[in-house]
Each structure stands twice: as C-alpha cells, then as structure tokens.
Chain A
C-alpha cells in the first residue's frame, strides 16, 4: 500500500479527501458571494429531501392513473432544473473536481463520473448514466446501498460544436435524475447556453495567494523537503496564479533535486485564450469596415499584439484570394513587421500606433476585389509546418526506413528524404549502399532520385 502511494503523482496524493482538508475557494452565484462547501452540501441534502417528496407524489399519481379513466389521467411531476443540477465554473486546478469528491466522501456517497475523455455519443452517455439513474424501482428498495452523486466533469470539453446530441441528453438526464448532478466547466461555451440557462451556476474563484502558500508549505513539510525559501514558494505560487495543481507539480519537480524550475521563462510565455483570438480574427476580416473599427477591435482585446499579428498573417490567405488584394495586404503587414522590429530594437514606442493600424485595418481593408466570405471560415493557428498525407509510394518508403530508423513522416519528408536524395545521387556506390541497407525495392529506390 505504501509502495503504491509513493508512486502517485503528488497532485493525486494531495487531492483533498474531505472538505475539512481543503481550502474552500471563494465563490459567487448570481453576483452574490456564497460559501461553496455549504452551498454544495445544502444542494445535495435538499435534493434528496425534495426528490423523496416528488417520488411519493408520483407514486400516488401512478396509483390514481391506474384506476382513472383516460381523460382523468394526471401527469407525473418533476423536480425543477435548479434543484437537480448545479454548475461549477472556474479556472483549471482550483479544486472543482476535488471538492465534488471530497463532498461525496464526507456524505458517504459514491461518485458516478463522466468527462471529456469519454465517448461523446448520446448512446454511450445514456448507457453510462442510465445504469444508475433510471433504475428507480430497484433503488427504492435498496435503501441501505450508498447514495450516488453524478459528476459531469469538463462539460466545456465534452461538447465540441458538433456534439449537439449531448445537450438534450444531459437536459433529459437532469429532468429525470434520482441523484443530484454537479457539472464542472472552465469557461462559458456558446453551444451550452441552453443548458446553462436552466441550471444554477456558481463561479469558483482561484484560491488566494495566502491559502496557496499554506498548502504548498504543507506539502513540502509532509515530503520532508527543506531548502526552499519562502520567497521561492511565493514565486511559484505567483507564477501559477491560483492554479494549485500547477503549484504542486512544480514542487514535485523541485523536490527531484533539480534546480528551480524555469519560473522566469515561463512567466514570459503567452497563453492567450485561443477562443478569443478566433473570434477576433473573424471579426477583423469579416465585419470590420473602417480603420477606426479595426482599431477599436484590437484595443478592446487582451490578446498580446506581439502575437496577434502572426495570427493575422496566418489567416490572411483564407479571407483573400485575388492577387492584387493579397499584394496590398502583405505590403501593409510586412511594413508593420518592419516597424515592429524597429520599435523593439530602438524602443521607438511612438511608432506603435502605425503598427496597429497597419497590421489590423491596413491588412483587412486591402480586401477590394475578393468576394467577402461571410460564412464560416476555419481559423488556423500560426504555424509553419502542417502535416501532409503521404502517397502510397511514400508510405511504403517510410515504413521501410522506420524498420531501421524511427523517424516521423513529416521529418522524413522535410528533412531526411532530401538528404538521402542528394547523398544517393552523388554516386552509384552510395545509391547502392543506401538502398541495400534499407532493403528498398525498385519502386522505393525510385524515390531516392530527386527530380
């Protein structure tokens, strides 16, 4: 047992088992502060009280219906959405999943969990959840068995835009459930609106710096690690901005006898929300009509400009197709890039407004001839290499090479194959040695000849 415990990643080892062990993050619901532990405990307790009443009433209704004529039939009643489900929304690593498990543990309940890694079909979801929720007949008798709590974790992740089937499933589940449902999510998702509107939402705030430091120190003490100054602990906490999981991960890494993690470097890395950039790029290319509008748009966003203009560069060809438009747009973008370079080099911050106007308005307003694509345009991440699909000859060559030398396909195509081609074209002898060593057949040998 101790053996396995030592093998746990610390974030699991230190996942709080009880509400009493954990720092309860502060929380808000419809604008008011709430005590999260109390809120959830009450929600669960209330649920069972209410559902019991409802079940009794429904039993009577069913009895009544059995003897009543068709037009005297009564409909069974249901618990309201708000009393059946609650949504916890908040940043990663602040204790959402943990608090649900801790609560269940304290109340001596089992958790039935579904999350973003599960098959996202209505069928699968129903199968997993219905096993426990719909079988009220049996459950009514099995009083002594442990009560259950349903956790739908990472709803924002489970439902990509295409998984429409899942929202009705969840709504239906909430309507008919015999167990309280808690949902967790990192951020608001448009596609989930119909769900969000009906249930109670609690915003979970990141832990305070003080709380996080307390927990970090406790972990260090428990692991008998000394030599990390309080200043360093504070730096780690600060860097991770309330993400306790990241704090604990960092601690585990330092404890490995390694030196201080790349705190400073990491602080400089940008992690802007991809979603925000997506919609910004779309608006920029599809809606903006004047320089001023473009300017307002970039001003309003929190996305680092340093980063934003690369997105513009990546996506420009998806919105413009006519060469004359493209030439104008690139003229402006390349000038923006040059100006940006000068700003950085010489600290000419006064040039910044030109930079903004050129890369945003200057680029998008170059669209004169190209038809406006109003529909949905897929936004691409700035990136230089995309993977290509191989033809059959290339595939068989890759396979042969991989028997001797493990190389992924994109590196083979971009890097290794051109080299092999030059090497084997240098002499017949080389060509023979190479194809012999990789045991290539005639077709594959042909690919070593560059065109």
Chain B
C-alpha cells in the first residue's frame, strides 16, 4: 500500500511520448525528429497548462536516451533568481575600483539570468549525446533579457539546442522567433481526453458516463491534470461519479476563494481585487459569467440591507449582460470589481 501513489494526477503521468494524450500530429512530428537525430532550436507556443512542458521534456528525454541526465536542463524564466545566484551575478558585475572612469567601484546591471542559469550549461561540452537540450519555460517572462539569448543560440547552437516555451508568442522578441522553429501545441481533443479518463476510471474501478466526461473536459478547460484532480475529488465517497459529484467538487474549490475576493472588495482595494479575480479565472478557467454567478451566490449569504442588495444585484446583472458579447473576461470582471470597490463604503 505504501508504494501506491495517492495522487492520481501524478500516478497517471505519461512517461513517454506515446502516452501523451491526443495531439497526434505534434507527436508524430517530434518522433520524426528523434529518428533524424537533429533539430533546430524550437519554440513551443500554447495556452497555459495544456502540457507544453510535459511534451517538451518527454521529447528531450527520448531524444537523449540514456544520456539525458547530464545533457538536459529545464529552467523557469519566471522564477526570480535566488539570493545566492544574485550574489554570484553581482560579483561578476562588480567593476573594480582600480579602473578609472565614472562607474568605477559600482556594480552594473547585466543579464544575470543568462549569466547564472544559461551560460554555464550551454558552454560545457555535451557528453555522448549529439547535443545538449535546454528547456526554458515561460520564456516571454525574460523580457529584455531575451536579447542575451540571440548570439548564444547561434554560437553554442551545435553544442546545445534550446526548446523555448511560451504562452504568447507576442511576448517573444523577433530575433528569437527568427532563431526557432515554432510549434503550436494544441489543446487535447475531447475524444482522446475521453479515452484517457475512461482508462483511468477502469483502473480505479469507477463508473462514469459520457456526459460526465464532457463536463469534466469543459470544467478543466482541457487541462488534463486539472481534470484528473476533479475526478479524484468527485470519487472520495463514491465509486460512481455523477454530474452532481463533479459540480460539488468544483464548488469546494470555489467557496473559499470567492470569499477572499469579496473581502478585498469590501476594503475598496481594486488592485488587489483584480489580482485575486485574475487568479481565480486563470486557475479554474471560469468564464466571467461563471464568476459573476458565484459572486452573487456568496453575496446572498451576507447580511445586506435591501437597498444595497438591490444595487449590487443590479451591478452584477449589468456586468453579466455586457459579458455576453464582450470578448475579454478580464475586462468585464475588472469593470464589475471597480464598481463594487467604488460602492464598498455601503457594503
């Protein structure tokens, strides 16, 4: 029993390219590359959470075979450098006081990220494999520091190929896009998704029907690990999964979070409220309208005067109507938040 992995999303992680759910075309392209044993730098573009990194790292492992350990590195561009890493970069950047000139004795900014995280890896010679592979997640988060990759990708290109990963290509500077083959990573399709969920259900001896799978697909926004989380939560007490179970497990998530959003709104803190709502939208893939519904539900539980309640419902209704045709969830939600914040003194 001890060896049993208790978290399904980990238990059912794919361990090679063939096990990746759906995305046939992309997989075949990647397998073709492995056969030819050569590829240019690559840029993986696709929405958040659909498996870009999983695919990239499984690909890299398969490509490198048994030599992957020493030759593969994954770095996260959006994770700030640690104190030690920054200290290291600083010591490299210190301009000696013996130099003459206005900046003597000062530290000068430099591409610390490239210096500390990238260069040491790409410069060390590849062992046994055709070349090393460096995977950079959230590449767009590097902003101006992307510049530092330009010649690096060329000069060390034969020693190390890069797979850059981003959710939005507009955040990647042109000269970098120019240096990469771009791959669009699509969302998993419903059929493949269904197959995966059915096979998990079989192994866990669950009973669930097609409609439930579809709801699961929608609720998770096609994010597989999210879907498996929901599935696991829905089966805590019962092996038969009904639509209702799924909804309940979804709601368990919502309660605490929507409440914390309301608290911030009551303080009239728009910036903070926006931050929280964005997190909610991103994490649970709600549409603006779903979020409005939950807000309304929670508001109903609060002791408000009739007048205030009516005005708040009015605001939410207005926002809801606008969101029908609106294109951008975030804008529509922010609009409601700004109104509620303005009104916060009455709440």
Contacts and interface: CB of A to CB of B under 8 A. Distances in A.
Given A121-B108, A387-B79, A313 B325 contact: no
Nearest to A381: B171
Contacts of B175: 92-93, 154, 157, 186
A265 interface: yes
Interface stretch (A65-73, A193-201, A211-219, A332-340): A332-340
A213 B6 CA distance: 56
A376 to B, nearest CB: 15
A385 B7 contact: no
A117 B150 contact: yes
Given A162-B109, A313-B331, A423 B233 contact: yes
Residue in B168, B171, B249, B270 whose Cβ sees the most chain A Cβ within 10 Å: B270
B331 A115 contact: no
Interface stretch (B27-35, B64-72, B293-301): B27-35
B25 interface: yes
B39 interface: yes
B153 to A, nearest CB: 9
Contacts of B233: 419, 422-423, 426
Interface in B1-44: 5-7, 9-10, 25, 28-29, 32-33, 35-41
Nearest to B147: A157
Contact of A116 (B102, B147, B226): B147
B311 to A, nearest CB: 13
A78 interface: no
Contacts of B95: 121-123, 165
Nearest to B168: A383
Contacts of B35: 257
B30 to A, nearest CB: 9
A269 B183 CA distance: 13
B108 A97 contact: no
Contacts of A122: 95, 99, 101, 103, 108
Nearest to B144: A160
Interface residues of B, number: 110
Given A334-B326, A415-B49, A415-B225, A256 B33 contact: yes
Interface residues of A, number: 109
A309 B102 CA distance: 43
A342 B330 CA distance: 17
A116 B111 contact: yes
B328 A117 contact: no
A434 B334 contact: no
Nearest to A451: B256
A8 B151 contact: no
Contacts of B101: 122, 165, 168
Given A123-B96, A327-B342, A154 B150 contact: yes
A270 B170 contact: yes
A419 B99 CA distance: 56
B40 A249 contact: yes
B195 interface: no
**For the complex, would chain A's binding face be called helix, strand, loop or mixed by DSSP majority?**
helix
Contacts of B328: 309-310, 313, 337
A331 interface: yes
B322 A262 contact: no
A232 interface: no
A4 B158 contact: yes
B309 to A, nearest CB: 19
Contacts of B274: 317
Nearest to A169: B101
Given A117-B148, A334-B332, A334-B335, A323 B268 contact: yes
Interface stretch (B196-204, B205-213, B278-286): B278-286
B323 to A, nearest CB: 8
A337 B331 contact: yes
Contacts of A430: 6, 236
Contact of A265 (B149, B154, B173, B184): B184
B141 interface: yes
A117 B6 CA distance: 45
A415 B171 CA distance: 23
Interface in B247-298: 249, 252-253, 256-257, 268, 270-271, 274, 278-279, 281-283
A324 to B, nearest CB: 6
Nearest to A5: B158
A223 B204 CA distance: 51
Contacts of B332: 334, 337
B92 interface: yes
A271 B171 CA distance: 8
B242 interface: no
B332 to A, nearest CB: 5
A154 B179 CA distance: 14
Interface string B129-152: 011000001001101100111111
B339 interface: yes
A117 B119 contact: yes
Nearest to A419: B229
A450 interface: yes
Contacts of A313: 328, 330-331, 334
B271 A317 contact: yes
Contacts of A129: none
B128 interface: no
A411 interface: yes
Contact of B140 (A156, A317, A381): A381
Interface string B204-238: 00000000000000000000011001001100100
Nearest to B77: A387
Interface in A13-35: none
A6 B36 CA distance: 10
Interface stretch (A138-146, A401-409, A440-448): A401-409
B174 interface: yes
Contacts of A404: 10
User: Which are the 5 A-B pairs with shortest beta-carbon distances?
Assistant: A157-B147, A334-B335, A258-B29, A115-B151, A341-B325
Interface of A: 4, 6-12, 91-93, 97, 113, 115-117, 119-124, 126, 153-154, 156-158, 160, 162-165, 168, 186, 243, 245-246, 249-250, 252-253, 255-259, 261-262, 265-266, 269-274, 307, 309-310, 313, 317, 323-324, 326-327, 329-331, 333-335, 337-342, 344-345, 381, 383-387, 389, 404-405, 408-411, 414-416, 418-420, 422-423, 426-427, 430, 433-434, 437, 450-451
5 contacts: A7-B158, A116-B111, A120-B111, A164-B103, A418-B257
